[in-house]
Amino acid sequence: MFAGKMKAVTFSFDDGVTQDKRLIEIFDKYGLKCTFNINSELLGKAGSLIIGDVTVAHVKPRPQEIKEIYKNHEVAVHTLTHPNLTTLDDAEVIRQVETDRKNLTEYVGYEVCGMAYPCGGVNNDERVAELIKKNSGVKYSRTITSTHNFDLQDNLYQFNPSVYILETDKMWEMAEEFLKLQTDTPKLFYIWGHAYEFDIDNSWQKFDDFCRFISNRDDIFYGTNSEVLLNK
């Protein structure tokens, strides 16, 4: 149960990019909560990504900006430099995760306890999850594998989201289903993505429409990942 409610919505966005500021304006407008997963050793770096035939900015805020930018939301681990953890030895997995967590904790002024695995494809496995569980202060970590359902999961260290923002039609279909859902067991609608992806086809207004649609429902709790997964 989420603060006395059976349904909850949470968002999770990766990389810590300057587009997060625009995204946060949308979330704050509608009273929604998000967890932002950040690579602390990449902060302050400027770059771009080519996605299809579109080039989008991939610019990181500076360390001293993190606390203010994300003040209404949760900051979580995304590793120091965004490697695929399944390719690293045990010691480097632990360093990438726990040092990032400690850096971010210093920047935001509270104990960072969440995480999202970096990289596409197979970006996590049981070895990595167990290393994180036993050797870091991380309490949960999100994968990139969509479940397309609202069920809660026992394994918080390989926690699968409901849907990816680029699965646009599925995301809207699930939102409509979730709002109509009557349940006597806890259900979670967990949406993830990257803020720069809205620049690919300038879909910011469409996501604003989605957030307006999903928000302000009396039977839904809107929380960060920690709030819904750990009941913090």
Instruction: State the alpha helices, DSSP H only, in 35-89.
Output: 66-69
pLDDT at 231: 82
Q: How confident is the model at residue 232 (pLDDT cuts 50, 70, 90)?
A: low
Class of domain 7-229: alpha beta
103 with 40: CB under 8 angstroms?
A: yes
pLDDT at 120: 87
Q: What angle do CA 179, 182, 186 make, to 5 degrees?
A: 95
Q: How confident is the model at residue 1 (pLDDT cuts 50, 70, 90)?
A: confident
Which burial class, exposed, middle or buried, applies to 30 when counting CB atoms under 10 A from its CB (0-12, 13-18, 19+)?
middle
> What count of other Cβ atoms lies within 10 Å of the Cβ of residue 215?
16
Q: Where are the domains of the chain?
A: 7-229
Which of 115, 132, 110, 33 shows the shortest CA–CA distance to 66?
110
Query: What is the value of pTM for the model shown?
Result: 0.97
Residue 24: pLDDT above 90?
yes
pLDDT at 29: 98
SS3 2: strand
**Distance, CA of 153 to CA of 8 (rounded, Å):** 14
What are the DSSP E strand ranges found in the chain? 7-15, 34-38, 48-51, 54-57, 74-77, 163-164, 187-193, 220-222
